[in-house]
Amino acid sequence: MAQYQTRASVCVRTLSKAVVALACAAVVSGSSLLAQDAATVSPAEREAVKRAVLDYVEGFYEGDSAKLARSIRPEVYKYGFWKARDSTRYAGEQMTWPEFFSYARSVKQNNRQAPPTAPKRIELYDVQNQTASAKLTASWGTDYLLLGKYDGKWMISSVMWQSPPPRPAPSGGGGRGGAEGADDRTEANAVEPFENDLLATDNLYRGTFAPDGLWRAIQVPRSASQQ
């Protein structure tokens, strides 16, 4: 009986080692394939993906419909979570392709372009020969984007975003000091008027890429008493 138990234990240990070895081989093989895919993507392709994301954010910032049209697919699915300044809860809402252009027209018509200091930090997560993923940090918050290469052109097909999470309270030391802290405060002060437009507390602009976005203001104009 003891002999059978010993043999069973040996078989279990051998099987376990085999499973671990197979799992490690699969991970290494997958990593190698990803590395090979990444190696086959040229710097020009990565730059083209970045350009599509830049067109997306600059289209909103500048009210440039042409940039939106060349960077976003008509069947795009965009959904975001935003929180009004007088609320502690996030609300979720979808933005459709026509609403992208309603917002851009309103920016142009009302001359409400973002300042040059408005953030547009792009991180490319993965670029393959037909698909890519990226992260955008902008005035309205964070966007996670999926892109595809359609007829040789990189375009955005899916966006998930959220408004900025609450900032942690400063420590007892009063926060960062020195030149770095001063630079951050200068940039924040420069962007704040634009953010105030996007984050209007009366929810007039609710519904676009930014909390309380501008497109609904066009569809439902303010009455004279509200102006």
Taking the CA atoms of the chain, what radius of gyration do you get in angstroms?
Answer: 24
Give whole-number Cα distances, 15 to 10, 12, 66, in Å: 9, 5, 60
Domain residues for the domain of 212 are: 43-167+177-219
Predicted local distance difference test score (pLDDT) of residue 180: 45
Q: Which of 6-15, 54-63, 202-211 has the lowest mean pLDDT?
A: 202-211
Taking residues 28-44, report their average pLDDT. Answer: 61
Asked if the structure places residue 16 within a domain, the reply is no
CATH of residue 149's domain is: 3.10.450.50
Domain assignment of residue 38, yes or no: no
> Given this model, what pLDDT does residue 55 score?
97
Residue 137 has pLDDT above 90, yes or no: yes
In a domain, 34, yes or no: no
Quote the CA–CA distance of 186 and 181 in Å, as a whole number. 9
Task: Identify the pLDDT of residue 225.
Answer: 37
- CB atoms under 10 Å from CB of 202, counted, come to 11
Residue 224 lies in a domain: no
Tell whether 162 is covered by a domain: yes
Q: So what's the pLDDT on residue 173?
A: 52
What pLDDT is recorded for position 165? 83
User: How many folded domains does the chain comprise?
Assistant: 1
Residue 31 lies in a domain: no
Q: Would you say the pTM of this structure is higher than 0.75?
A: no
Sorted by sequence, the CB contacts under 8 Å of residue 78 that are 6+ apart come out as 94, 95, 96, 158, 159, 160, 161, 209
Residue-wise pLDDT tens digits, 182-193: 444 434 443 444
Res 129 pLDDT > 80: yes
Between 40 and 140, the more confident residue is 140
